[in-house]
């Protein structure tokens, strides 16, 4: 048995069975994605998975963990196959996942990684035959990120992960919105704005106000579970956020939150508030979030959280529900939560966006941070 390492390539015969195993429990779900020459999902070969077990030309599931593939019978338009594993609850897999190819196998150690989905093996055409490449690329955002990266209909994802919801919104708690609402966003590339998924949820029309001008925006993808959404605008924006090169956060460090809260009351300009990092996790030790004390209000959602060098370290997402806290007799103010920069970077990587990373962390002061950030923040208005 030949054990492959990530990046290793090898020739493969025209037919075979791929068997999935998970160390320390049931394995994650197996799926096969076929790509065309443009590295997008093939129109002649829709993805198949171990849940629905639909049949495709030259491929069929023989059980929950076994997939038979006849490479020599693949449609000519199929140039590449991805064998992926994912967690149906969109949670980190957190185990060693092994794909057995008969005379070869590849093991991806995900025990210390946040990935909810992983590309295990790629099969690709080469000089009239087929070769494989051990991959191991993980996706913290799970199957949704893989679907977005390769142009797969999101309905496929929703069939497999039907309870994909924001972590703070149980079934039935959120109803459809009506009218106009607004939130905040931050430019991560000349034509892309990052915001919260709940800001653009149910929106028919999205407009971004950046650099003093309104821009029509399209929602590229909204990840409701992790509350992140990527918007695209045709006209380039003036400023782009720089991410802090040091991923880790520091308890007690000063931060600035920027956004457009209470637009009907406070005016149309951006608002800045200052505070510090109060905890390195969210409610229930959620490691994708951190707690900060800079005051925020309705409309701040999706706005950037910056360190004292002016670098992006997170995205405003929510506040503690004070009514629920007061019901317990406790007192709590300015308990707010942001999505960590590491999660944002993983999300952007799923769409091939290379963010600007900062070089150096020289403190420039609060006023300079706000002044420097004005060109990269955006007001997001939604018509529902």
| 180-233 and 242-374 in the same fold | yes
Under CATH, which architecture does the 2-160 domain have? Sandwich (2.60)
Instruction: Measure the CA–CA gap between 301 and 27, rounded to whole angstroms.
Output: 36
- Half-sphere exposure (Cβ direction) of 295: Cα atoms closer than 13 Å: 6
Boundaries of every domain in the chain: 2-160, 180-233, 242-374
CATH topology of domain 180-233: Thrombin, subunit H (2.40.10)
Instruction: Measure the CA–CA gap between 265 and 78, rounded to whole angstroms.
Output: 56
Beta-carbon count within 10 A of 165 CB: 15
- Residue 160: in which H helix or E strand, if any? helix 154-160
Interacting residues of 362 by C-beta distance below 8 A, sequence separation 6+: 309
Nearest C-alpha neighbor of 147 from the set 95, 222, 89, 68: 222
Tokens representing 375 are 């060109």
Under CATH, which architecture does the 242-374 domain have? Beta Barrel (2.40)
Instruction: Measure the CA–CA gap between 146 and 349, rounded to whole angstroms.
Output: 10
pLDDT 10s per residue in the chain (384 long)? 899 998 899 998 877 788 988 776 678 999 999 999 998 999 999 999 998 888 887 999 988 899 999 999 999 999 999 999 999 887 889 899 999 988 899 999 998 888 889 999 999 999 999 999 999 988 877 888 888 888 888 788 878 875 433 333 333 334 445 568 889 999 999 999 999 999 998 888 999 998 778 899 999 988 887 889 999 999 999 899 999 988 789 999 999 999 998 765 656 678 999 999 999 988 777 888 999 999 988 889 999 999 999 999 999 998 875 444 444 444 456 689 999 998 899 888 878 888 999 988 899 989 999 999 999 999 999 987
Beta-carbon count within 10 A of 288 CB: 23
Tokens representing 171 are 């079934």
Interacting residues of 69 by C-beta distance below 8 A, sequence separation 6+: 15, 16, 17, 18, 32, 58, 59, 81, 123
Q: Give the Cα-Cα-Cα angle 204, 210, 308 (nearest 5 degrees).
A: 120
């Amino acid at each position: 048995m030949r054990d492959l390492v990530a990046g290793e390539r090898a020739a493969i015969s025209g037919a075979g069975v791929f068997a999935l195993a998970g160390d320390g429990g049931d394995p994650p779900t197996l799926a096969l994605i076929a790509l065309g020459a443009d590295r997008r999902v093939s129109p002649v070969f829709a993805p198949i998975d171990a849940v629905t077990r639909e049949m495709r030309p030259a491929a069929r599931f023989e059980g929950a963990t076994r997939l038979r593939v006849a490479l020599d019978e693949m449609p000519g338009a199929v140039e590449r196959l991805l064998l992926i594993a994912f967690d149906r609850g969109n949670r980190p897999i957190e185990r060693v996942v092994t794909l057995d190819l008969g005379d070869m196998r590849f093991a991806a150690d995900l025990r210390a990684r946040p990935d909810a989905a992983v590309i295990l093996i790629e099969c690709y055409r080469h000089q009239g035959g087929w070769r494989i490449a051990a991959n191991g690329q993980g996706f913290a955002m799970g199957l949704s990120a893989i679907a977005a990266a390769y142009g797969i209909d999101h309905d496929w994802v929703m069939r497999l992960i039907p309870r994909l919801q924001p972590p703070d919104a149980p079934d039935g708690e959120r109803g459809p919105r009506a009218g106009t609402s607004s939130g905040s966003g931050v430019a991560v590339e000349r034509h892309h704005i990052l915001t919260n998924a709940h800001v653009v949820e149910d929106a028919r029309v999205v407009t971004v106000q950046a650099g003093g001008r309104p821009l029509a925006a399209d929602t590229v993808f909204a990840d409701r579970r992790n509350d992140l959404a990527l918007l695209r605008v045709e006209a380039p924006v003036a400023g782009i956020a720089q991410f802090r090169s040091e991923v880790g956060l520091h308890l007690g460090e000063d931060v600035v939150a920027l956004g457009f809260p209470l637009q009907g009351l406070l005016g149309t300009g951006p608002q800045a508030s200052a505070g510090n990092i109060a905890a390195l996790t969210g409610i229930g030790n959620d490691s994708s979030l951190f707690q900060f004390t800079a005051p925020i209000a309705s409309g701040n959602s999706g706005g950037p959280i910056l360190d004292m060098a002016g670098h992006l370290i997170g995205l405003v997402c929510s506040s503690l529900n004070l009514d629920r806290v007061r019901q317990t007799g406790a007192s709590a103010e300015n308990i707010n939560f942001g999505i960590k920069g590491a999660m944002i970077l993983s999300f952007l990587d799923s769409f091939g966006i290379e963010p600007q990373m900062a070089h150096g962390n020289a403190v420039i002061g609060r006023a300079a941070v706000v002044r420097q950030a004005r060109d990269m923040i955006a007001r997001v208005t939604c018509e529902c």
